[in-house]
Amino acid sequence: MSHTPPAATITLALSKGRIFDEIMPLLAAAGIEVLEDPEKSRKLILPTNRPEVRVVLVRASDVPTYVQYGGADMGVCGKDTLIEHSAEWGGAARSGLYLPLDLQIAKCRVSVAVRTDFDYAQAVKKGSRLKVATKYTAIAREFFASKGVHVDLIKLYGSMELAPLTGMADAIVDLVSTGNTLKANHLMEVERIMDISSHLVVNQAALKLKMAPLRRIIDAFASAIPAAS
């Protein structure tokens, strides 16, 4: 059976978890209801109540890639993911991505955290070279360069909290939401780098080819964005 969709199909790339949960009300505002629960189903292509709209489930960091290469017409991902993707491609425009909306969902922040017994301020003041473990190398590189702090970046893909605990790094750059993960691992936030929320990402070529249906979805999302808090 072929999974190549008919030309009029609209494919939306989402990741499981907070983004999926928090986009549901915006999808509802656009008249779209996802018919299967990704936490229960093993399916990666989820049907919706609208025969021409389907959802593909991808890793959060793969959302811009799916949209860029046309595997999806549009997607939702965090500003953190977009910055890291853009750094690889020399900007959103170069990668053919159109970013029409900050959806104001899945809010969190990117911060620097260290062990509670590590004197970060003193290390910075002394001009020490810091070992920083992170998945967000572009954000971390730019941030420490702007502060004039020399860093050796260690690229990780998850569980960054372990790096300072095992002595592999002095600090981490990671997402903080409730702060519970830091607390549970005896780490503390020492700098807030930026606030994060999720954005709508659209393939520019798809926008031209499927202008009317994509515009309808973009406009419905725009009118249903939660009020800034």
93 residue type, one letter? A
Query: Pick from 174, 203, 206, 210: which binds ligand PRP (CB under 6 A)?
Result: 174
Q: What is the DSSP letter of 227?
A: P
162: contact with ligand PRP by CB under 6 A: no
Q: Does 180 bind ligand PRP (CB under 6 A)?
A: yes
Give the SS3 label for residue 173: strand
181 makes contact with ligand PRP (CB under 6 A): yes
Nearer to ligand PRP, 173 or 202 (CB): 173
The Cα–Cα gap between 176 and 193 comes to 11
Nearer to ligand PRP, 62 or 73 (CB): 62
Q: How far apart are CA 12 and CA 78, in angstroms?
A: 15
Nearer to ligand PRP, 65 or 203 (CB): 65
* Smallest separation (angstroms) from ligand PRP to the CB of 182: 6
Q: Is 39 in the site for ligand PRP (CB under 6 A)?
A: no
Instruction: By CB under 6 A, name the one of 35, 150, 177, 205 that touches ligand PRP.
Output: 177
Residue from 175, 218, 220, 225 touching ligand PRP (CB under 6 A): that is: 175
91/84 Cα distance (integer angstroms): 10
Q: Which of 96, 85, 86 is nearest to 58 (CA)?
A: 85
Residue 59 touches ligand PRP, criterion: CB under 6 A = no
Say how far apart CA 156 and CA 214 lie, in whole Å.
36
Q: Strand runs (DSSP E) across 135-170, as ranges?
A: 151-155
Q: Which stretch binds ligand PRP (CB under 6 A): 23-31, 37-45, 163-171, 172-180?
A: 172-180
Interface with ligand PRP includes 178 (CB under 6 A)?
yes
* Region of 84-92, 116-124, 173-181, 207-215 interacting with ligand PRP (CB under 6 A): 173-181
C-beta separation of 110 from 136 below 8 A: yes
User: Among 131, 122, 129, which residue's Cα sits nearest to residue 170?
Assistant: 131
SS3 label, residue 89: helix
Question: Mask of contacts with ligand PRP, 116-145, x by CB under 6 A?
Answer: ------------------------------
Cβ count within 10 A of residue 228 = 8
The residues that touch ligand PRP, with contacts defined as CB under 6 A, are 158-159, 174-181
